[in-house]
Amino acid sequence: MAARMSGHRTVEEHLGDVLAAVHPLPVETRAVADARGMTVRETARATVDIPVFDNSAMDGFAVRHADVADASADHPVTLRVVADIPAGSDADPILAPGEAARIMTGSPVPADADAIVPFEDTVGGLADSLTQTTVLRAPRPAAHIRRAGEDLRAGDPVLGPGTLLGPLQLGAIAAAGITDVVVSRRPRVAIVSTGSELVEAGAPLRRGQIPESNSVLLAAMAEAAGAEVDGRTSVDDEGGALRDVVDACAAASVDVIVFSGGVSAGAFEVVRNELSATMTFSRVGMQPGKPQGFGVLPVADGHSALLFGLPGNPVSAAISFEVFVRPALLALQGRTAIHRPVLRLPASVAWRTPPGRRQYLPAVVDTDAAWSVRPATAGGSGSHLAGGLGQARAVAIVPAEVDAVAVGDEVDVWLLEGWDA
């Protein structure tokens, strides 16, 4: 069981509350070409066999196996070439004993043929292929014939509900003759940064001001999790602007609002102050990401929106998204796998960890020799190290009971999108 600091909830408890509030979104039908990154919700079934018909795996000659069963370099066998079957041809030429058809990879194999002899196993190869050919090596029976339906039959399931449509999955369903796929509607997510110190990146900064960056970070993380970002806003700590944004989000019937900042213990915690009736604020036994807010807001048309109040420190916001918001977005889409796979990798340097809280450390995975993991930022796990975050492509997770990681210790690691770039 995860260790608990007094007054802290565990990550699992908080995530459990979040996931209990998730109801999968409605489905929609998408053209395959327009469905990358979406989640299948109804089994996609093949409309054609794969292969569609018996076809050749090699450029060469379709032959009657019995004619060439004894062919060898010492005993070459010459066949008459009576047909030419390019890819796309619907011809099914009759082959009498002693006859062959020139055939290309992917062309339909004549019903009379039961083996393919590649050009390489003939005397003249492609150069001398339209009148006769001399076979120098016996093919196995059925050699180089790809049988109809040996991969999938029409009606077979190609992809099941909960599958992410990546390039390979899209290729597979297109090959199976599927034109449209039933997927989850993308979650519509509003990103709301809070803080009177925040100004748009690039604007001149007076003392006390910083570039607003969490909305860029969180919008990108939401899109990477399959969501559609419905507005990025930054509001001050006064409260009026936040109320207006929440009203606009409710009217627009967004599925999720992700706030950052304004959830801890200060005097101007705008999310906490304005949304205390809708959201619950708790302290979670993790570092970063200790202060967390979560709630469900009724919005237009009887729907409701999930509200996440993430801490404002940029590393805290990123980790909190990864730990709580991303699984929720995937569950909304009906995705089967909502948690990242966990690797166990040895640490290549030593680092300290916060006592009593599970550490989620932005990390670098080195893959040049044996794989290893190290902190991404020289300053350790500081939740304000927003620039060093750019070095991270992974997260190292260290249990609350552990207070230091030594070189060679194995730790849990999540690889993030683009980890291999």
Ligand X SMILES: Nc1nc2c(c(=O)[nH]1)N[C@H]1C(S)=C(S)[C@@H](COP(=O)(O)OP(=O)(O)OC[C@H]3O[C@@H](n4cnc5c(N)ncnc54)[C@H](O)[C@@H]3O)O[C@H]1N2
Interface residue list for ligand MOO (CB under 6 A)? 287-290, 311, 313, 316, 383
CA distance 75 to 72: 5
CA distance 93 to 115: 15
- Cα 126 to chain centroid distance, Å, stands at 44
Cα within 13 Å of Cα(361), Cβ side: 31
Q: What angle is formed at CA 398 by the lines to CA 395 and CA 402, rounded to 5 degrees?
A: 160
Residue 208 beta carbon to ligand X: minimum distance, rounded to whole angstroms: 10
Please list, residue by residue across 246-266, b when 16 or more beta carbons sit within 10 angstroms of its beta carbon and e when fewer do: beebbeeebbbbbbbbbbbee
Residue 61 vs 308, nearer CB to ligand MOO: 308
Say which entry of ligand MOO, ligand X, none residue 265 contacts (CB below 5 to 8 A, set by partner kind).
Answer: ligand X
Residue 310 beta carbon to ligand X: minimum distance, rounded to whole angstroms: 7
Residue 404 beta carbon to ligand X: minimum distance, rounded to whole angstroms: 20
**Which amino acid is located at 96 in the chain?**
A
Residue 61 vs 351, nearer CB to ligand MOO: 351
CB-nearest residue to ligand X: 312
Residue 381 beta carbon to ligand MOO: minimum distance, rounded to whole angstroms: 8
Measure Cα distances from 390 to 219, 323, 337, 362 in Å: 16, 18, 26, 9
Residue 139 vs 309, nearer CB to ligand X: 309
Say which entry of ligand X, ligand MOO, none residue 118 contacts (CB below 5 to 8 A, set by partner kind).
Answer: none
Measure Cα distances from 80 to 73, 282, 354 in Å: 18, 83, 81
Residue 325 beta carbon to ligand X: minimum distance, rounded to whole angstroms: 15
Residue 67 vs 212, nearer CB to ligand X: 212
Residue 353 beta carbon to ligand MOO: minimum distance, rounded to whole angstroms: 12
Contact 100, 111 (CB under 8 A): no
Residue 127 vs 265, nearer CB to ligand X: 265
Say which entry of ligand MOO, ligand X, none residue 169 contacts (CB below 5 to 8 A, set by partner kind).
Answer: none
Residue 157 vs 211, nearer CB to ligand X: 211
Residue 195 vs 289, nearer CB to ligand MOO: 289
Residue 9 beta carbon to ligand MOO: minimum distance, rounded to whole angstroms: 13
Contact 161, 311 (CB under 8 A): no
Residue 310 beta carbon to ligand MOO: minimum distance, rounded to whole angstroms: 9
Say which entry of ligand MOO, ligand X, none residue 65 contacts (CB below 5 to 8 A, set by partner kind).
Answer: none
**Which amino acid is located at 68 in the chain?**
V
Residue 51 vs 289, nearer CB to ligand MOO: 289
Residue 129 vs 233, nearer CB to ligand X: 233
Binding site for ligand X (CB under 6 A): 193, 195, 197-198, 210, 212-215, 260-266, 269, 288, 290-291, 311-314, 316, 383-384
Say which entry of ligand MOO, ligand X, none residue 269 contacts (CB below 5 to 8 A, set by partner kind).
Answer: ligand X
**Which amino acid is located at 218 in the chain?**
L
Residue found by looking up tokens 């200060």 in the block: 266
Say which entry of ligand MOO, ligand X, none residue 228 contacts (CB below 5 to 8 A, set by partner kind).
Answer: none
Measure Cα distances from 336 to 13, 155, 160, 255, 379 in Å: 20, 23, 10, 19, 37
CA distance 273 to 293: 11
Say which entry of ligand X, ligand MOO, none residue 262 contacts (CB below 5 to 8 A, set by partner kind).
Answer: ligand X
Residue 7 beta carbon to ligand X: minimum distance, rounded to whole angstroms: 10
Residue 71 vs 397, nearer CB to ligand MOO: 397
Say which entry of ligand X, ligand MOO, none residue 107 contacts (CB below 5 to 8 A, set by partner kind).
Answer: none
Say which entry of ligand X, ligand MOO, none residue 295 contacts (CB below 5 to 8 A, set by partner kind).
Answer: none
Contact 238, 199 (CB under 8 A): no
Say which entry of ligand X, ligand MOO, none residue 122 contacts (CB below 5 to 8 A, set by partner kind).
Answer: none
Token code pair at residue 373: 């993991």
Residue 413 beta carbon to ligand X: minimum distance, rounded to whole angstroms: 22
SS3 for 75-143, per residue? CCEEEEEEEEECCCCCCCCCCCCCEEEEECCCCECCCCCCEEEEHHHECCHHHHCCCEEEECCCCCCCC
CA distance 401 to 409: 14
CA distance 306 to 332: 10
